[in-house]
Amino acid sequence: MQYVPPLNPRLYPNLDKLLAARDRTLDWLNSSDDPDSEPNIARLSLTEAVKIIPIRFQAAVPTEPAVRAWVDAVADAARTEQVQRGAYLASVNHGPSLVLLGPTGVGKTYEAYGAVRDIAVTGVVARWTVTTAADLYAALRPRHGIDSEAEFAKYRNARLLLIDDLGAERKPTEFTEEINFRLVNHRYEHQLPTLFTSNVGAAELAQRLGDRVTSRLAEMCQRVSMKGSDKRRSNGEAA
């Protein structure tokens, strides 16, 4: 692994809370010069997370117990696979998935990016691909000079995938239905850990995604229903 020098906590908001929730400290995080050590992997993962997390969510720390439990399960799966394969490092390749459901503004996106940061400090190698459903469809629409299948493979085969706002479009098209099925089905069949958020309830999600996708999501994902008022209106945090 690439060696990462000790991190300045002032550049990583709420780093103390993130570490404390896992009974770890800044001294632990900055303790090792070994590039393959868990502390260095955690430092590398935190620096990579900064690149993919929007500014608004740079301080995210998961507060939902189910989100932290999912992170634990993904990290545990990486360590179990390391032992089974005799691998040099614990890397996320397979594991459970999670879907966060709830109305706009309750904090789903905050929790999702909190999970990205939380898995970083577990010290397992976790390579994320992050997108919204709308951006996913835009990236995959056929257009001149772009190999749509090569683009699709980036999401299909991602080690860890976060898709925010699944089911946001009220009138699914044949194109989006095909993308949803191909993506979810592949990740379902290969047990690739995926984190979804959606503003619609379970029943409405089925109407927007169809029975085939919904059935696979139900089996591959733990479902967490988040409730509450719109935090955007009260303190500027987003869902």
> What's the pTM?
0.93
CA dist list (Å): 102 to 98, 106, 123, 164, 181: 13, 7, 30, 12, 22
**Count of structural domains within the chain:** 1
130 touches 57 (CB < 8 A): no
Alpha helices in the chain (DSSP H): 15-20, 26-29, 38-52, 65-85, 108-120, 133-140, 148-156, 174-189, 202-209, 211-220, 231-235
Q: Please report whether residue 15 resides in a domain.
A: no
Domain-embedded: residue 158: yes
pLDDT of residue 203: 79
In a domain, 57, yes or no: no
Q: With respect to residue 77, please indicate whether it lies within any of the assigned structural domains.
A: yes
Write the single-letter amino acid at 173.
T
CATH of the domain at 115: 3.40.50.300
pLDDT at position 210, please? Answer: 87
Enumerate residues 6+ apart whose C-beta is below 8 A from 45. 119, 120, 121, 125, 126
Q: How many beta carbons lie within 10 A of that of residue 233, not counting itself?
A: 10
In tens digits, the chain (239 residues) has pLDDT values of 899 999 999 999 999 999 999 999 999 999 999 999 999 999 999 999 999 999 999 999 999 999 999 999 999 999 999 999 999 999 999 999 999 999 988 999 999 999 999 999 999 999 999 999 999 999 999 888 889 999 999 999 999 999 999 998 878 889 999 999 999 999 999 999 999 999 988 778 888 898 899 999 999 999 999 987 666 666 554 45
Q: What is the pLDDT of residue 237?
A: 47
Does residue 43 fall inside a structural domain?
no
Does the residue 181 lie in any domain? Answer: yes
| Residue 238 within a domain | no
Query: Please, are residues 159 and 116 in contact by the beta-carbon 8 Å criterion?
Result: no
Does residue 21 sit within a domain? no
Residue 118: domain span? 65-230
